[in-house]
């Protein structure tokens, strides 16, 4: 399946509000983990029953519920019931190929964005859909599979009695989105280093393998741009939003997030232009190399034209060729050919043709 489009044939014609998983299953077990905290205390628990969800909803602390896995319809219906989430919102949550967007509804804000990560073992990029529901004192995050990408945020909550414990669910949402955008910039930096090293190789030895590398990097950058561009649009709309679910003092953080996503977008455009320049350099280098080869071959051909003429004359089948009967005729012919060759090389050198 293409990394750009993940539309299944059986999903065609379904109601956009139906709670149906529309993606590729990436985990065998749905895991719900919650962090319930305030300035003084942090508690972590694994949610397994509807009663656990109700208790989390009634908590007076700030609650972060993370859901790993999106294919359990019954679970989604329970979440909708307990946290009063509209079905059209959860329908988008269960559609991992949905375009990044944000939407305010009666009980909160829904945000979805693509989370891109670099797989060092396989040296490729992977993408996962992240959905957030921001409500009063509650943040629900949905991931396609378990992962450690948000572990730095959890560590901040565990170890530091600072802003992240007291600034509300909107600030916590900013912290998660900031991790996603930082990953964009980190991955672009890895690709950028490879692209810049490629430029040096291009100058020294423009071999055919470099063309394959350029095409690979172009494909990866296009994949990044496909996810970053709509994410940028979504964050810009989030910055402009005036909502009761985003505190005035936290708007500055979302503007910082906008600056970071703008940087990521500009970096992808810059490296994309560099790749096109490198592609032009490659073709120019190959053309120059071909011209050098053709010039050498042309010079060799031109040198052998008069020599071939002399040999051809003395290879004719006539008896009356006076030079054939000279005692030193053979050596004179060689001398003429050598001096003709040297004279032509001197002429080419004077004209700076090589």
Strand order in the sheet with 42-47: 42-47, 31-37, 62-68, 138-143, 124-135, 108-119, 101-105
Q: Which residues in 250-262 are b (16+ Cβ under 10 Å) and which e?
A: bbebbeebbebbe
Domains of the chain, earliest start first = 9-284 (3.30.460.20), 291-350 (1.20.58)
pTM above 0.95, yes or no: no
Q: What is the pLDDT along the chain (354 residues), one digit of tens a residue?
A: 455 556 566 666 566 667 788 888 888 889 999 999 988 899 999 988 888 899 988 888 999 999 999 988 899 999 999 999 998 899 999 998 888 999 999 899 999 999 998 888 787 888 999 999 999 899 999 999 998 999 999 999 998 777 888 889 999 999 999 999 999 999 999 999 988 888 777 766 767 788 888 888 999 999 999 999 999 999 999 999 888 899 989 999 999 999 999 999 999 999 999 888 888 888 887 787 788 878 888 888 888 888 888 887 777 766 777 777 777 777 888 888 888 888 888 887 887 766
What Cα–Cα distance (Å) separates residue 287 from each residue in 132, 202, 222, 291, 294?
53, 13, 27, 6, 10
């Amino acid at each position: 399946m293409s990394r750009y489009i993940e539309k299944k044939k059986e999903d065609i014609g379904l109601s956009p509000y139906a709670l149906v998983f529309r993606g590729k299953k990436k985990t065998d077990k749905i895991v719900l983990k919650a962090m319930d905290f305030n300035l003084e205390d942090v508690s972590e628990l694994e949610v397994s029953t509807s009663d656990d969800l109700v208790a989390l909803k009634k908590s007076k602390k700030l609650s972060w519920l993370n859901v790993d896995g999106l294919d359990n319809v019954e679970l989604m219906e329970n979440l909708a019931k307990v946290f009063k989430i509209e079905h059209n919102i959860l329908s988008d949550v269960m559609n991992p190929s949905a375009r990044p967007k944000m939407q305010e509804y009666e009980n909160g804000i829904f945000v979805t964005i693509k989370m891109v990560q670099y797989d060092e073992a396989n040296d490729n990029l992977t993408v996962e859909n992240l959905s957030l529901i921001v409500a009063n004192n509650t943040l629900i995050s949905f991931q396609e599979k378990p992962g450690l990408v948000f572990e730095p945020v959890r560590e901040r909550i565990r170890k530091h009695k600072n802003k992240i414990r007291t600034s509300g669910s909107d600030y916590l949402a900013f912290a998660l989105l900031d991790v996603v955008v930082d990953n964009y910039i980190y991955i672009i930096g890895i690709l950028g280093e490879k692209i810049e090293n490629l430029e040096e190789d291009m100058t020294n030895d423009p071999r055919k393998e470099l063309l394959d590398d350029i095409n690979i990097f172009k494909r990866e950058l296009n994949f990044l741009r496909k996810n970053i561009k709509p994410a940028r649009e979504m964050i810009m709309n989030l910055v402009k939003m005036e909502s009761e679910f985003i505190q005035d003092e936290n708007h500055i953080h979302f503007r910082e997030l906008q600056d970071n996503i703008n940087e990521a977008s500009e970096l992808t455009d810059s490296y994309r232009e560099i790749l096109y320049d490198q592609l032009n350099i490659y073709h120019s280098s190959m053309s120059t190399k071909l011209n050098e080869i053709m010039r050498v071959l042309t010079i060799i051909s031109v040198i052998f034209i008069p020599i071939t003429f002399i040999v051809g004359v003395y290879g004719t089948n006539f008896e009356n060729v006076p030079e054939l009967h000279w005692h030193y005729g053979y050596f004179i012919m060689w001398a003429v050919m050598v001096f003709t060759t040297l004279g032509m090389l001197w002429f080419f050198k004077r004209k700076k043709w090589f």
